[in-house]
Amino acid sequence: MTLVIDRPPLGITSLQDATRWLSEERSLEERFGLVANQPRVAVLIPCHNEAAAIGKVVTDFQNALPGATIYVYDNNSTDSTMLHARAAGAIARQEGLQGKGHVVRRMFADVDADVYVLVDGDDTYDAAAAPAMLKLLIDRQLDMVIAARFGATRNTYRRGHRIGNMVLSGLVGWAFGGGISDMLSGYRVFSRRFVKSFPALSVGFETETEFSVHALALHMPVVEVRTAYRNRATGSASKLNTVMDGIRILRAIATLIQQERPLQVFSLAALILLTGGIGLGIPVVVTFVQTGLVPRLPTALLSTGLVLLGFLSLACGLILDSVSRGRKELKRLAYLAIPPLEYPE
């Protein structure tokens, strides 16, 4: 944020008056924390039925990031989440489409800032870690800083969630690289470049998967830091269903791999089809060479069909790989069209 003076106020008639007025303006900046060239920080809190925790979350981030603007987006809560958010001093808004992905899409579209802090409204993440994460993103010109959870109790971070997170994070790491250990963390800091170039196509909790794949596919600078993770506030309950949401996230990962790595996916399918076709066809060919007859015509037809499908799968992979590369180039250009964050040396 840079202070711009369009015209001098009334009463400025000399250089001495102007100097005194500018000095007063600087003191006002210092008094209210409006320091020139400091990034605008927005704290984004999506929540659903978090009346028991949202007030403390807002207060903690106000204390941790005094100059930040805090937005709470309520997703069809049936309790008093909105009232508690407003009472704590946050800007409270609503998103009618159910699902965290819808809320994230709305927040990223509506809020304009230089740096974005995204955190769940259940008071399980440490607000005191935000300044260090923010400084790391600015100093190293990163696009995403992920808070990897540690120190959680069995009740806070259930075993099924922990194992599922490890499996899904490992799958994304195998497909895209990057070494992100806590892909499903709900506490992240983003650059404006990331937020305004992020497509946000998911509906539910798979949006965290989209964050990671979007950054890894475009080779954005990303860092993961360890932060404390604690018990939920009394009266607050997890909205994550281990099995159903796990299946949705796994399906989202499979879709993203197919979209971002089509040549590898279709080459694997081609290899399986060609192996099956050749395996079935070798005995038929051997018999034909020895006798001049094809006694197993159905097997021969099946073998021929599998081989043709294998080559067709490989051709599809090559075509879709070119399409994927074009899409990636467009995403990269959209990313580069957004100016980087400026900060004082």
pLDDT per residue as tens digits for the range 44-98? 999 988 998 899 999 999 999 998 999 999 999 898 999 999 999 999 999 989 9
Give the span between the Cα atoms of 146 and 189, in whole angstroms. 7
CA angle at residue 341 from 337 to 343, to 5 degrees? 150
The reported pLDDT for the residue numbered 160 is 60
- Beta pairing, strands 41-47 & 115-118: parallel
Residue where the block lists tokens 């790989």: 321
pLDDT in tens, 267-322: 999 999 999 999 999 998 988 888 888 888 889 999 999 999 999 999 999 999 99
Contact assessment for residue 54 and residue 118, using Cβ atoms and an 8 Å cutoff: no
Query: For the ranges 148-157, 190-199, 311-320, 333-342, which has the lowest average pLDDT?
Result: 148-157
pLDDT in tens, 17-27: 545 544 444 44
pTM: 0.75
Give the span between the Cα atoms of 146 and 223, in whole angstroms. 6
